[in-house]
Structure 1
Amino acid sequence: MLDVLVIGGGNAALCAALCAREAGASVMLLEASPRAWRGGNSQHTRNLRCMHDAPQDVLVEAYPEEEYWRDLLAVTGGQTNEHLARLVIRASSSCRGWMRKHGVHFQPPLSGALHVARTNAFFMGGGKALVNAYYRSAERLGVEIRYDSPVHGLEVRDGRFLAAFTESERIEARACVLAAGGFESNREWLREAWGRNERGEWPADNFLIRGTRYNQGTLLRHMFDEHRADEIGDPTQAHMVAIDARAPLYDGGICTRIDCVSLGVVVNREAHRFYDEGEDFWPKRYAIWGRLLAGQPGQTAYSIIDSKAVGRFMPPVFPGHRASTLPELARKLDLDVDVFMQTLGSYNAACRIGTFDHTRLDDCHTENIEPPKTHWALPLDTPPYYGYPLRPGVTFTYQGLLTDDTAAVHFGGVASDNLFVAGEMMAGNVLGKGYTAGIGMSIGTAFGRIAGTNAAAAAHNPANRMEASHAAA
């Protein structure tokens, strides 16, 4: 009989498969997508958030555990399991050597990469290169990989995994790792979670999906409904950012994100500002803007900058709408010109210019205006002007399976001894809400390795599961 079955094909699944194979287990990996689209959302990633106490290869200065923890605590508002979060943080400090062993290369961050050289290690070639490296390593080690193999159900008895069902077969294994992603591509589930708003809109109908179309949440729903697995997380919470409204419905990836929000103002389709664009550094706060957009009429807004901002942010794939005057820009964006000019005029008049410095929380701010802009507030007065249409872009959802530091799935408060979970399917244990750049890959890498190592141990001797978790971390 097969030792370990891994369901999923992204970073967490691959880490699990590799660690299980390294531990001597026979391993099969089932990827729902065709080979050309393998890797789930991991193919769109760029970096990994890493704890380090001193400069390390591509990382500068230091990013100690307590600072990492404070950053995570700030974006989650305390909605996180500290024990599991610190496990992820500590694991992030030592995983790069293992990753390199499996063919992953790192590079210093590119110019304009959001000031994260101290906190994040960037993959050479991005997430697609990382995924390809892991697949090559898995094939070399003898992991059996099957594409076009979505799993629609599991056989679980008394908390123990027995088999998985694809369209054509029943696959037995001594242990299993669930790493099949969230439900962000399931429009009906998103509609169910978000419901109608006070304007009678279905906000989820206007969400774009930054990543794979294959994350339908089939296994999550099956685990919730059929097996009553213990859940965690709010179904409306997700890694959701502001992306270009012209992006494709699926797989737009990193290049569709709009990074100039903090350098100008954001107005909704009624031409009103609605949030502090200068609240904090973009890497720490960019993930709040998707949810902010979800609350606006039509789930639409516009990022407005002038020529002073050009060159200060990572340019997106689509050029902004350009105009020589602000009224002309309003017309191009189909906004009410009078309201737009009143909004921009009030903002410009409220700006108190100090020493502008986009690399720190500077003293350029507004006064006597709501909402305020607390940093980087410069008047928009230098043509040409640019406008980027925005919509919410969902990367992955946070509702998932409750777990512990062994990565075990729980049923009625009892941990399974041979069914484990990693990646997006359990990220809500660490991310109750919010996001900070690179943390998703940190969670997937840490728990993928723990789940794979423990699954291999469980396949041979369930009593080894607890000891293996500490070795994996």
Structure 2
Amino acid sequence: MTPDVLVIGGGNAALCAALMAREAGASVLLLESAPRAWRGGNSGHTRNLRCMHDAPQDVLVEAYPEEEYWQDLLKVTGGLTNEHLARLVIRASSNCRDWMRSHGVHFQPPLSGALHVARTNAFFMGGGKALVNAYYRSAEKLGVQIRYEAPVDRIEIDNGRFIAAHCTVNGQPERITARACVLAAGGFESNREWLREAWGQNERGEWPADNFLIRGTAYNRGVLLKHLLDDHGADRIGDPTQAHMVAIDARAPLYDGGICTRIDCVSLGVVVNREGERFYDEGEDFWPKRYAIWGRLVAQQPGQIGYSIIDSKAIGRFMPPVFPGVKADSLPELAQKLGLPVDTFMRTLDTYNAACRVGQFDHTALDDCHTEGVTPAKTHWARPIDTGPFYGYALKPGVTFTYLGLHTDDTAAVRFHNQPSSNLFVAGEMMAGNVLGKGYTAGVGMSIGTAFGRIAGTNAAQAALASQQPPALTDKSPEAIKNGANHAIA
């Protein structure tokens, strides 16, 4: 028997879609390309959800009203965002947590030093992996059918309407039909060839993408995204070089390093390239609003590498990374250990130190410690790096997810020639570029995935149930759905 709704993907957005579709009375089949042990995509590496709230709410302190949230998003994207869809996400973030709790997600106050986001972000107890596991447990209990190691490589579409998906199960091709479909299969960040094509070759003859590390899953290769864009002419949005790209420890693994590989001391020191020169304002804004630009900044430097330099005054003021930094008793010794040109490095540090105008240092506020007469300036938290021992961290670009995606609207429908599909919807990273043209602010990816996953699931269920002639099942109980879907995919 044909399931009402097919969900392609296995992360937060896909699970939200599957749960909402099932709650709306639809039978649901979810296809996850990864093995069960690696299910959940990038969502397993998340920690929190950015939430609008007009007053204190359980784990959220003070208030974070819609307009402030919107201004934060507007600033980090530089205006490359759809305000209507962005505000939809913002408003949805204010009322989703009770629903999340109903599916087993628990929240906790942020730990000490968690990026100053106690006011803006709700942290998952147990992190993203616990959230993913809770959603899968709830989906199974409700009768959502789940198949692992079932990558979908193409779908059939007729005049903008979804017909069937083609996947591989146990090495065998399989065609699965459904009355409606939700695409939530992620971006293309783990597709090295596509990254290479997008970034091309720079003026130094380098292929920057060759030096990128992938913070998240190895399974987001963008196969369906490319298929929809190239083979079906789906409307696209976003720049293929734009991504949630963070400066991470250069010693991080190629895939799945996650949050612990991030280097969070950038705003408390200086960053130099392999030539020993600074290249951007390290104190431009609070770290949660700027950390996701630094991967791109490092990607533009020679060899796609940078070095975060701090002294002992910074210790204890940032979340410590998983790997210890390179330590030295003097700055020339640190330069030597990092393999940097000592003379240029010392000229850079001496110039910076002399330019510091130290006022009332406060790493929790936009303080008045700044530089004068040096380019680039450091606008906040500028203090001389003069107190040993000194520490250095080599940085590489860490790609979390890409922003090129499918153009959609507030119904989450996939669009073809500016016309919305009647039964094909999209959520999560595959459409995040509608809200994130560039830049990032902590927790907003989960806000987008949750909002659009729920919208896509609801609308897919409505489209599927409206199309049934006669209805596929008269008994829509979880047990009846489960038994029927078992026959459908046996």
Range class of TM-score, shorter chain: over 0.9
SS at match of 2:133: helix
State the distance in 1 between where 2:339 and 2:231 align: 48
Conservation of the 8 A alpha-carbon contact between 1:417 and 1:462: no
Deviations 1:404-437 (A, max 9, x none): 0000000111100100000000000000110000
Is 2:410 aligned against 1:405?
yes
Distance 1:462 1:441, change over 3 A: farther
Could you tell me which amino acid in structure 2 is paired with residue 110 of structure 1?
L
Give the corresponding residue for 2:130.
Answer: 129
Alignment partner for residue 180 of structure 1, among 177, 180, 185? Answer: 185
SS at match of 2:401: strand
Q: CA deviation at 1:225?
A: 1.2
Moved over 2 A (4+): none
State the distance in 2 between where 1:442 and 1:354 align: 37
SS at match of 1:214: coil
State the distance in 1 between where 2:5 and 2:407 align: 21
Give the corresponding residue for 2:101.
Answer: 100
Is 2:255 aligned against 1:255?
no
State the distance in 1 between where 2:381 and 2:73 align: 24
TM-score for the superposition, normalised by structure 1? 0.97
Deviations 1:220-256 (A, max 9, x none): 0100111101100000000001100000000000000
State the distance in 2 between where 1:21 and 1:199 align: 53
Q: CA deviation at 1:94?
A: 0.1
Give the corresponding residue for 2:480.
Answer: none
State the distance in 1 between where 2:86 and 2:281 align: 28
SS at match of 2:411: coil
Could you tell me which amino acid in structure 1 is paired with residue 211 of structure 2?
N
Distance 1:290 1:462, change over 3 A: farther
Give the corresponding residue for 1:395.
Answer: 400
Is 2:343 aligned against 1:338?
yes
Q: How does 1:410-421 map to 2 (within 5 A)?
A: 410-421=415-426
SS at match of 1:169: strand
State the distance in 2 between where 1:131 and 1:2 align: 23
Give the corresponding residue for 1:44.
Answer: 45
Q: How does 1:56-205 map to 2 (within 5 A)?
A: 56-167=57-168, 168-205=173-210
Q: CA deviation at 1:202?
A: 0.3
State the distance in 1 between where 2:135 and 2:270 align: 41
> Which structure 1 segments of 5+ residues have no match?
464-473
Superposed CA RMSD? 0.8
Give the corresponding residue for 1:468.
Answer: none
Conservation of the 8 A alpha-carbon contact between 1:276 and 1:373: yes
Give the corresponding residue for 2:31.
Answer: 30
Is 2:266 aligned against 1:265?
no
> Which structure 2 segments of 5+ residues have no match?
469-490
Give the corresponding residue for 1:471.
Answer: none
SS at match of 1:273: coil
Identity %: 82
Could you tell me which amino acid in structure 1 is paired with residue 158 of structure 2?
R
Give the corresponding residue for 2:485.
Answer: none
Q: CA deviation at 1:462?
A: 6.1
State the distance in 2 between where 1:35 and 1:99 align: 22
Conservation of the 8 A alpha-carbon contact between 2:216 and 2:255: yes
SS at match of 1:453: helix
Give the corresponding residue for 1:240.
Answer: 245
TM-score for the superposition, normalised by structure 2? 0.94
State the distance in 2 between where 1:152 and 1:284 align: 36
Conservation of the 8 A alpha-carbon contact between 2:179 and 2:467: no
Alignment partner for residue 225 of structure 2, among 190, 196, 220? Answer: 220
Q: CA deviation at 1:339?
A: 1.0
Give the corresponding residue for 1:276.
Answer: 281
State the distance in 1 between where 2:61 and 2:135 align: 26
Give the corresponding residue for 1:377.
Answer: 382
State the distance in 2 between where 1:98 and 1:462 align: 27
Give the corresponding residue for 1:8.
Answer: 9
Conservation of the 8 A alpha-carbon contact between 1:6 and 1:177: yes
Conservation of the 8 A alpha-carbon contact between 1:265 and 1:277: yes
SS at match of 1:266: strand
Deviations 1:320-350 (A, max 9, x none): 0001111111011000111111111111111
Could you tell me which amino acid in structure 2 is paired with residue 55 of structure 1?
P
Deviations 1:118-148 (A, max 9, x none): 0000000000000000000001111100000
Alignment partner for residue 334 of structure 2, among 329, 334, 338? Answer: 329
Could you tell me which amino acid in structure 1 is paired with residue 304 of structure 2?
Q
Give the corresponding residue for 1:470.
Answer: none
State the distance in 1 between where 2:50 and 2:449 align: 11
Could you tell me which amino acid in structure 2 is paired with residue 115 of structure 1?
H
State the distance in 2 between where 1:132 and 1:309 align: 37
Could you tell me which amino acid in structure 1 is paired with residue 338 of structure 2?
L
Give the corresponding residue for 1:288.
Answer: 293
